[in-house]
Amino acid sequence: MEKYNHQTIEAKWQQQWQTTELYKTAESQDKPKYYVLDMFPYPSGQGLHVGHPKGYIATDILARYKMLQGFNVLHPMGWDAFGLPAENYALQHKVHPEQAVQENIKTFKAQLNKLGLTYDWSREIRTTDPDYYQWTQWTFIQMFKQGLIYQSNEPINWCPSCQTGLANEDLEDGKCERCGSAIVKKPLPQWVIRITDYAERLLNDLDKLEHWEEAIKEMQRNWIGQSQGAEVIFQIKDQPQTIKVFTTRPDTLFGATYLVLLRINQTWSALI
């Protein structure tokens, strides 16, 4: 009985797939379109970890399923090469970030090819390429012109070791999940997107998503965090000024005994 030599056989067919561009998406108008997008990995390590193929295999199954159904499937891959992970890797290994990113991408790509996934590598992108980030800059400018971006100076989660701001999701028990340092609250000038202007649309469109578990949708609803309520205007006694307060329970106002004003930098907040 002949022994199956997986290294020889798989290498042969992987080369065949690359040569024939088997998974390249054609500009076809005859088939319905289907878009499968993975979260781009950070090329900030010496290779993939088990969590990468865990997610990529699942989306690859979906891509193949839709191909068999007759869809013209676009399944690209790219590299989230900007930011703290790549910078920390470069500092740790004492190499230029550009060199580190190039070397890591080469390794990551070779590993993904061994998995035989259906990526269209002709559409590969790197977020550090000027041809790519010029469009993120263009998008920023367009949003700024529309008043959707403004500058803020509010306290953020600051990691003194990584020297960067962190989202709440990046914390574990009040510490940086990457280095374990205790987080401090630090006011920092920053650009903020008025995503709240789209809260209603985001919530409504969650119902249009197919193949999403209800638990995941509920997590998104909680993350958007829209509250239904009313704005109540309080008149200051013997003064012309008023204080506007938002409350989700206007029916309980008859039981309100006091109102608290909180000032953070130049912003006032009221709580009853």
CATH number at residue 119: 3.40.50.620
- Length of the chain, in residues: 272
Give me the phi and psi of 259, to 5 degrees please: -130, 135
How many CA atoms lie within 13 Å of 219's alpha carbon, on the beta-carbon side? Answer: 6
Helix (H, G, I), strand (E, B) or coil at 142: helix
Are 1 and 93 contained in the same domain? yes
Are 156 and 178 contained in the same domain? yes
**The residue type at 248:** T
Biggest alpha carbon–alpha carbon distance for the chain = 99
Are 7 and 84 contained in the same domain? yes
Are 71 and 8 contained in the same domain? yes
| Geometric angle at alpha carbon 37, from 33 and 40, rounded to 5° | 155
Are 21 and 117 contained in the same domain? yes
> CB neighbours (10 Å) of residue 27?
5
Are 23 and 65 contained in the same domain? yes
Q: What is the DSSP string of 90-130?
A: HHHHTS-HHHHHHHHHHHHHHHHHHHT----GGG-EETTSH
Last residue of some domain: 193, 213, 244? 193
Are 119 and 2 contained in the same domain? yes
pLDDT tens, N- to C-terminus, the chain (272 residues):
788 888 889 889 988 988 899 999 988 788 999 999 999 998 887 788 888 899 999 999 999 999 999 999 999 999 998 877 778 888 888 989 888 899 999 999 999 998 999 999 999 999 999 999 999 999 999 999 999 999 988 888 999 988 888 888 888 888 998 788 999 998 888 898 998 888 889 999 999 998 789 999 999 988 887 777 888 888 888 888 888 888 888 888 888 888 888 765 555 666 56
Last residue of some domain: 79, 113, 128? 128
Strands 190-193 and 230-235: unpaired
Query: Is residue 200 within 8 Å of residue 226, measured between CB atoms?
Result: yes
Are 3 and 114 contained in the same domain? yes
CA distance 171 to 186: 15
Last residue of some domain: 74, 107, 128? 128
Are 155 and 265 contained in the same domain? no
Structure-token pair, residue 210: 């197919």
What total of structural domains would you count in the chain? 4
Are 116 and 139 contained in the same domain? no
The pTM of this model reads 0.71
Are 20 and 48 contained in the same domain? yes
CA distance 13 to 67: 19
- Give the range of the structural domain holding residue 143, as residue numbers without chain letter: 130-193
Structure-token pair, residue 73: 């499937």
CA distance 19 to 13: 10
* Nearest alpha-carbon partner for 126 in 42, 237, 194: 42
Are 239 and 164 contained in the same domain? no
Query: Is residue 129 within 8 Å of residue 98, measured between CB atoms?
Result: no
